[in-house]
Structure 1
């Protein structure tokens, strides 16, 4: 017996949705859908019988107009089967669901199946490097289907903006035209090729020591382990109060005896239990000593299961009485959208009065009774099990197999690296394919060598970038990345000079035109020639000693050697290094801005070693791409 998930989590962000449409939509009725429903469940039952789902089992429901139950608005007027499944932290549940749907499509060729999750068309995400260029999230509506064991993409040239009915009719009449390419099929099939064996591998059996009442419940309903783990993992302050009392599963308190049983759960559940630290409540029976490592580990894991089961039971019992959950939340959302609360602040007396009226109305609707039944189903089943006669000796006499090896929990690095390498190869192949296409197009349009690199383009692009608009939202890259930008460098340098100088300094300092060196100070005044002798004397009194002192300090450093200067000559080997150093000390020639910019960018790009970095990111915005270092590639 399987139980529904917590209502508050039914439409969580980690949910996969699916809808199954028979070809004969016009003649499909309730009887036909019911028969199809039973046949499908019978077909997949060998795979799902012993599988423990993370939050909820694979399910199918009937949706028939005029009272549809499907969550997809476009399907509201079509008779079909549908379902949704929350996979939570266990992605294997999602891909196992994909496998089941592929299996269903193979055994029922007259079915067209839609499949999506909270992120959208996740099958397309998996095959992103193999899709046609026109296909994106904006153009994929009503285009992606499973049929006869294959992925089908409704072609754009046949149906530019298809409705759901248009696509279903096209699949029925022109199935061969919509079948996706082999590379797309392979990309998706690689994710499910190991199922159903991987589903079995995903199960983990472990020995635990639990109170007798917990052992009885898990003996009759092994699937309740998923709700117990969910209750423990999602615990909060309110539910922890239930664990502190353990009213349901510890009738005798500390006098209750712990028995050893074997529990099967998914690997994700086991990880969620083992990786959390949890202190036993005072009422819980004493655990074995830590010196008994194996027994203590079994009892500690059983403690978490027992407390999780208690928290789940009490919370669902409370929610069942209130009849709340996803239906209550949907009801509240509809009230808020309709303006029922009139913009009142929660907690105010008037808001409280309106809330009481809404709760009273909700209790008298059918939604309340349905939600109550949904939440109370596990509670009723647990009550039924604990009402049955059972003996403690039954659990003591049974032989419990040892726990499965859990080294996979700590040695997953190799598997992760393998998956990353596969993705890396896929990305490299995609980049290589599109680079070769881009080079062919560039060679055809320009007739030049596509690999030619012009350093002046880097300088021009950087100047264009500096000249574009920037604001508090950030800098903007040039609109036309291939268009040459006309930049008055001299004017730009003068503007920068005026900004960088202190007030009153700009009139008395001059940088040689065309030079960006801020180390070459000059006392001359060429701005207007109208300065009083007294002002000049005051400036000279400060600026001349200041300039001389700064130059002397800089001569003792290596800063000057870090810039490339205009008309700089490389000294010959037979010239003394002392003469060269002396010449450089005495010669503050202008700095070549363009050459220094290019040199700095090349050094930064080289230090990235092929990885993303500031140089490649900045130049990428401008449409400039540096060539790879030929020496390093050899």
Structure 2
């Protein structure tokens, strides 16, 4: 039997297994049944499970209606019954890859579920944490820091709810809550649930165009591809995403079959090509088009002439897509993927005659011929600069000429918020503090603090930049600014004199000794010799005129010192821009915030 000493030792040495960190580009979501008030039923667990099964069926119907032809970048939205720490819930995890719109589509679906089931509460987060709070960072109360945000942010009846601390304050809150505590607050303390229309509007800003935005996440293009590839995509259009990703993240192992001397070993040979319409995700199509991919030796001679630019572009895009399918099926690391196993079974049915490849006549008569505009891909610096300043429509450009309407609104919003952040002169050591404005939706502690002023500033630790500047000018013997109130600087000057007197009494000998040492060291370098440069000039010049001209030049150099500094600043700024190599950086960001055009580097 374990003794108290054994139990104490176990508690001191046992450390719980930390919760695994969510992978990048992934979103995790949980759906809970939390009726308020708590139900008085005999079997609460059975009631909860029955309600969650209803939610699961609603989610299936909703995705069937909204996402009939939708293609996910990596993984799809899904909900499964789960039980953890005695709590039954619906759990889901989706890797959305580079398609951030997939993440927001999931948020939209979850929000719609809460509107259809009034006793459902949803919690969602990604690798960045509570990303809904990140979207609304400029409107959050001061106490809501990332360290204490876990289990506080919920979606209920389509609205954002935040659990407030027990005692609200303007100071930092260290109180963390568990999932069980959050459920208890929801059921028993509804007064602690903060609902702010301002926070909600910012947090759900990206959902403003849904569900219309769903179809705009896809792009249809006419491409020329092998007939087998067209057959697979006609069977299941979702095969496009893993094939594009295989092409986008290719490695030397995956490229081996394409480097063969002939195309006889390829699964998708380029000798039987058809021109069809293929539906991509926008991210996938951009990945395919943006890659520079030399024509493999197995495809040389199978592309049309560049004289017909449209036919060549379609064939080149189709070649990249076919190579992506080839690499997807060949690479050993993909063999366990469900999509790869499905494609191999379909191709086996074709080889055995159980399935027939589509004929040209069938493709021409029954297959879709849709082709979307690619203007959203054409973005140059002038368009970007114009849209960031909100001047796109003023120039008579059409909506969608730069990306789309959503992209324009997002860019203008980002720049406006960034300028607000940079122009916040009240920022302290913790960064810029945004103004909290919740109106009647937020209950803020209005109690006065003896040591903290009404604007949250600690008077003892405050710093007056203007008074400090004036004080330094007077200490260096420089005239203060015109119109300066001498009575205002008198207390500061008195404090400086008081500090100086104390230093003279305590450390006079040490300071004098240190000064002598520094002077001796500097004198050895010749820095303190004010006439040294003049003497060197006199020795080099032969006539008095030349000496006078050189001395005059030195005076001009001193007078133009500020101008030289400006030239050096411009030179350093241009070198910094060149070092950015077209990417973002401090110099480019600074020029953008000053609304100055970034000069182009035309050197070849």
State the TM bucket, normalised to the shorter chain.
0.5 to 0.7
Tell me the residue number matched to 1:18: 29
Distance verdict in 2 for CA 1:135–1:250, change over 3 Å: same
Of 132, 141, 155, the residue aligned with 2:141 is 132
Distance in 2 (CA, whole Å) between partners of 1:429 and 1:312 is 47
Query: RMSD in angstroms over aligned alpha carbons?
Result: 4.5
8 Å CA contact 2:58, 2:113 repeated in 1: no
Q: Does residue 258 in structure 1 map to residue 277 in structure 2?
A: no
Tell me the residue number matched to 2:598: none
Tell me the residue number matched to 1:315: 331
Distance in 1 (CA, whole Å) between partners of 2:334 and 2:235 is 24
Q: Does residue 557 in structure 1 map to residue 553 in structure 2?
A: yes
8 Å CA contact 1:130, 1:184 repeated in 2: yes
Q: Does residue 395 in structure 1 map to residue 363 in structure 2?
A: yes
Q: Does residue 291 in structure 1 map to residue 312 in structure 2?
A: no
Distance in 1 (CA, whole Å) between partners of 2:470 and 2:105 is 55
Which deviates more from structure 2 when the two are superposed, residues 46-55 or residues 546-555?
546-555
Distance in 2 (CA, whole Å) between partners of 1:415 and 1:87 is 28
Distance in 2 (CA, whole Å) between partners of 1:241 and 1:556 is 73
Q: Which protein is bigger by CA-based radius of gyration?
A: 1
Distance in 1 (CA, whole Å) between partners of 2:77 and 2:466 is 57
Distance in 2 (CA, whole Å) between partners of 1:493 and 1:197 is 74
Which deviates more from structure 2 when the two are superposed, residues 294-303 or residues 407-416?
407-416
Give the CA deviation at 1:502: 3.3
Q: Does residue 425 in structure 1 map to residue 399 in structure 2?
A: no
Tell me the residue number matched to 1:170: 185
Of 333, 341, 348, the residue aligned with 1:376 is 341
Of 65, 80, 91, the residue aligned with 1:82 is 91
8 Å CA contact 1:217, 1:385 repeated in 2: no
Tell me the residue number matched to 1:148: 157
Q: Does residue 282 in structure 1 map to residue 297 in structure 2?
A: yes
Distance verdict in 2 for CA 1:311–1:41, change over 3 Å: same
User: 1:553-599 deviations in whole A, cap 9, x for unaligned?
Assistant: 973434587489xxxxxxxxxxxxxxxxxxxxxxxxxxxxxxx9xx9
**Scaled by the length of structure 2, what TM-score is found?**
0.63
Tell me the residue number matched to 1:202: 217
Give the CA deviation at 1:406: 0.5
Tell me the residue number matched to 1:52: 71
Tell me the residue number matched to 2:524: 502
Distance in 2 (CA, whole Å) between partners of 1:56 and 1:442 is 46
Tell me the residue number matched to 1:617: none
SS in 1 for 2:331: helix
Distance in 2 (CA, whole Å) between partners of 1:558 and 1:440 is 55
Tell me the residue number matched to 2:443: none
8 Å CA contact 1:260, 1:400 repeated in 2: no
Distance in 2 (CA, whole Å) between partners of 1:251 and 1:314 is 9
8 Å CA contact 1:150, 1:185 repeated in 2: yes
Q: Does residue 98 in structure 1 map to residue 107 in structure 2?
A: yes
Distance in 1 (CA, whole Å) between partners of 2:141 and 2:425 is 14
Give the CA deviation at 1:181: 2.0
8 Å CA contact 2:222, 2:370 repeated in 1: yes
Distance verdict in 2 for CA 1:225–1:175, change over 3 Å: farther
SS in 2 for 1:403: coil
Distance in 1 (CA, whole Å) between partners of 2:156 and 2:522 is 68
What is the 5 A alignment of 1:135-534? 135-157=144-166, 160-175=175-190, 177-244=192-259, 250=266, 253-254=269-270, 256-284=271-299, 286-315=302-331, 319-320=334-335, 376-377=341-342, 379-380=344-345, 383=348, 387-393=354-360, 394-398=362-366, 401=369, 403-411=371-379, 413=384, 414-415=386-387, 418=408, 419-427=410-418, 429=420, 441=455, 453-456=467-470, 494-502=516-524, 518-519=529-530
8 Å CA contact 2:33, 2:48 repeated in 1: no
Which deviates more from structure 2 when the two are superposed, residues 103-112 or residues 429-438?
429-438
Distance verdict in 2 for CA 1:442–1:183, change over 3 Å: closer
Distance verdict in 2 for CA 1:544–1:267, change over 3 Å: closer
Distance in 2 (CA, whole Å) between partners of 1:547 and 1:227 is 74
8 Å CA contact 2:220, 2:279 repeated in 1: yes
8 Å CA contact 1:214, 1:249 repeated in 2: no
Distance verdict in 2 for CA 1:391–1:403, change over 3 Å: closer
8 Å CA contact 1:20, 1:113 repeated in 2: yes
8 Å CA contact 1:205, 1:264 repeated in 2: yes
Distance verdict in 2 for CA 1:452–1:98, change over 3 Å: same
SS in 2 for 1:299: helix
8 Å CA contact 2:132, 2:204 repeated in 1: no
Tell me the residue number matched to 1:118: 127
Give the CA deviation at 1:315: 2.7
SS in 1 for 2:64: helix
Give the CA deviation at 1:450: 7.5
Which deviates more from structure 2 when the two are superposed, residues 489-498 or residues 31-40?
489-498
8 Å CA contact 2:22, 2:126 repeated in 1: no
8 Å CA contact 1:443, 1:450 repeated in 2: no
Distance in 2 (CA, whole Å) between partners of 1:398 and 1:82 is 41
Is there any run of 5+ residues in structure 2 with no aligned partner, and where?
1-20, 36-43, 169-174, 390-407, 428-433, 436-451, 477-494, 542-546, 577-604
**Scaled by the length of structure 1, what TM-score is found?**
0.61
Distance verdict in 2 for CA 1:302–1:165, change over 3 Å: same
User: 1:517-573 deviations in whole A, cap 9, x for unaligned?
Assistant: x5257xxxxxxxxxxxxxxxxxxxxx9966975997973434587489xxxxxxxxx
SS in 2 for 1:265: strand
Distance in 1 (CA, whole Å) between partners of 2:167 and 2:458 is 31
Distance in 2 (CA, whole Å) between partners of 1:377 and 1:252 is 16
SS in 1 for 2:166: coil
8 Å CA contact 1:209, 1:260 repeated in 2: yes
8 Å CA contact 2:225, 2:273 repeated in 1: yes
